[in-house]
Amino acid sequence: MPDFSSIIRSIHTELDRNTHRGKVATYIPELAGIDAENFGIYLNCISGEDHKVGDWDKPFSIQSISKVLSLAQAFSIEGNSIWQRVDVEPSGNPFNHSSLLELENGIPRNPLINAGALVIADVLVSKLKHPKEEFLNYVRNLTNDDSIAFNTKVALSEKRTGYKNYAAAYLLKSFGNLNNDVETVLDFYFHQCALEMNCQQLTNAFYFLANRGYCMRNHAFLTESQVKRINALMLTCGFYDEAGEFAFEVGLPGKSGVGGGIIALLPNQYTIATWSPGLNEKGNSHLGMQALEQFTTATKLSIF
């Protein structure tokens, strides 16, 4: 078994010297003030070990990482009928790109781009009596952690500036692929993206996807077949138009967010989260992408 503690410490020490750390997201004003010097790694092994270094315990806005969690909840409710409204193909485009919607008659290319996540949000708004509260409780149950909450300042900041999300939602509505009011769906979506977690909490939240659908308390949240499909989507679509690069360099299912977080996992082995707020030109954490590539290279533990 690799010496995980020494490996992640070494990776953190080397990368933390970098003066070029990417650019913090500014299109959501509330995120613009986050210090780009933050950098943490947390490894959660299915065997029960955990290893951490740096700013792993500082909470941050998980943003698009939340799309996997909302998809999991919707998939558990709707089953395979969900794929009638959203496809499972990589988009090859940035996360907030809307042009494919018109070309493909209002069916988003996959549930991990913004348009697809809005359809998933619409499913949850339709199916849940109190959507925001029930989604938050779903995440708290996954992690066994009631301290996880929405950052309402971030949600409001996104609502004030999320023009492309409004455009995508109205486009979906025009094709009949949004059943609820645009404002209601977007309110849920902005809160979903404004979930705050630290690296440890993030690895706990995604533990069930590395453990055949069972959370850390051994409660089943998805079937093995559903887990397989979500992991496949993370591998092929989890990093927007850099998904191929992540699969090529890192070789794990994973998901990024513009808050600078990345979660990745190796089924039956571990979940690993990194956080460094500076983003590369594709909108993924600059140091996080490098850290995970170095981690799978050093441990030789990837799906390939």
258 is catalytic: yes
Round to whole Å and give the CA distance between 280 and 260.
10
Single out the residue of 124, 118, 113, 120 nearest to residue 83, CA to CA: 120
Do the beta carbons of residue 194 and residue 62 sit within 8 Å? no
- Residue 77 CB: number of other CB atoms within 10 A? 14
- Which two tokens mark 224? 């093995």
What is the C-alpha separation between 39 and 288, in angstroms, rounded? 8
User: Backbone phi, then psi, for 30, in 5-degree steps?
Assistant: -65, -20
* pLDDT tens digits, one per residue of 113-172: 999 999 999 999 999 999 999 999 999 999 999 999 999 999 999 999 999 999 999 999
Does position 92 have pLDDT exceeding 80, yes or no? no
240 classed as catalytic: yes
Among residues 64, 66, 98, 157, which one is catalytic? 64
Structural contact between residues 168 and 147, judged by C-beta atoms closer than 8 angstroms: no
Residue 268 burial (10 A CB sphere; 0-12, 13-18, 19+):
exposed
Which listed residue (240, 250, 255, 270) is catalytic? 240
Q: What is the pLDDT of residue 228?
A: 98
Which one from 119, 138, 157, 189 is the annotated catalytic residue? 189
**60-61: strand order across its sheet:** 60-61, 195-197, 149-150
Q: Could you state, in order of their start, the residue ranges of all structural domains in the chain? A: 4-60+198-299, 64-193
Contact 111, 233 (CB under 8 A): yes
Distance CA 54, CA 38 (A): 8
64-193 belongs to which CATH class?
A: alpha beta
Would residue 189 show up in a list of annotated catalytic residues for this protein?
A: yes
Evaluate whether 189 touches 166 at the Cβ level (below 8 Å): no
| Per annotation, catalytic residue among 67, 86, 173, 285 | 67
Beta bridge partners of 53: 41
4-60+198-299 CATH choice from 1.20.1440.230, 2.60.40.10, 3.40.710.10, 3.60.10.10: 3.40.710.10
pTM of the predicted protein model: 0.96
Check if 4-60+198-299 and 64-193 are the same fold. yes
Which is catalytic among the residues 125, 139, 250, 258? 258
User: What is the per-residue pLDDT across 200-256, written as a single tens digit (0 to 9) for each?
Assistant: 999 999 999 999 999 999 999 999 999 999 999 999 999 988 999 999 999 999 999
